[in-house]
A = this chain, B = another copy of it.
Amino acid sequence: MPQRPIVLLTDFGLEDPFVGIMKGVILARAPKAALVDLSHGIAPQDVAGAARTLRTSAAYFPVGAVFVAVVDPGVGSARRILWARSRRHQFLAPDNGVLSWLDGDDALLETRSVESEKYFLRPASATFHGRDKFAPLAAALSCGLAAAGLGPRIADAVRLDWPEPTASSAALRGVVLGFDRFGNALTNLPSARVPRGARLTHRGRDLGPLRAHYAEVPRGRPLAVAGSAGLVELSAREDDFRARFRAKPGDPVHVRNPRRA
């Protein structure tokens, strides 16, 4: 029987064997499932970072894929384990907000609290639910398990607030959310909300208008670019914006509306 692909997102890193062990548990139960690492580089316990990654990534995965998001500072406590589904995918995650920002075709249609222990390893540890609960459950879903028996539908899952930019007549005010490996700064400013002719600033420094790609400025120069997640990114061409300008999460990034004379 075909098995659904399983997509793993954790803050486990790849130095330790945690991710490899989860894959062992999965393959012992769903030997033909394709396993994809979405990322294991979420900063430790950065639930919002994982939620952002899911939001910008889920749409690119095949219909039927089962996402397993284990960023779980409350592991072993009374926090619930959630199963959820959108039109295209299923999700497993701790109930801490990591599923908050799925939208579009991945807006959640149904969320359940997993109460059945039928698929868990026995005994289950209290510190590694990725191995003992999430992995075997993902394997069962990959093999076609219907989720209705896992536990009741709920409507009170933990939700994080998306950090909306604030708008005034003069400017749209956003912030730096984080950085990628190249030192590009991701902001919370939707590229579509940057008016033609508007200039952007980072901590007051002018970055010029929104660019379509890096090569529009000379090497080493900073720029604001329409990023691949639909959000403005700050960058320095063939250089590291974060290091060069000592940028930090929370730095103000403003879009100054062009004057209408």
Known: A62-B31, A76-B215. A45 touches B15 (CB 8 A): no
Q: A156: shortest Cβ distance to chain B, in Å?
A: 19
Q: Which one of B17, B18, B181, B227 lies within 8 Å of A127 (CB-CB)?
A: B227
Of B15, B28, B225, which contacts A60 at CB under 8 A? B28
CA distance A128 to B5 in the complex (A): 24
Asked if A128 and B7 make an inter-chain contact with CB atoms under 8 angstroms apart, the answer reads no
Contact residues, A205-261 vs B (CB, 8 A): 212-215, 225-228, 233, 237-238, 240
How far is B133's CA from A187's CA once the two chains are assembled, in angstroms?
A: 24
- A36-44, A140-148, A168-176: which lies at the interface: A36-44
* 29 A–B contacts from the bound complex (CB under 8 Å): A5-B27, A12-B181, A13-B181, A14-B39, A16-B41, A16-B181, A17-B39, A18-B180, A20-B36, A20-B38, A20-B57, A21-B38, A21-B60, A24-B38, A24-B57, A24-B60, A24-B62, A25-B60, A27-B62, A44-B181, A60-B131, A73-B237, A73-B238, A76-B215, A77-B213, A125-B227, A125-B228, A127-B227, A128-B228
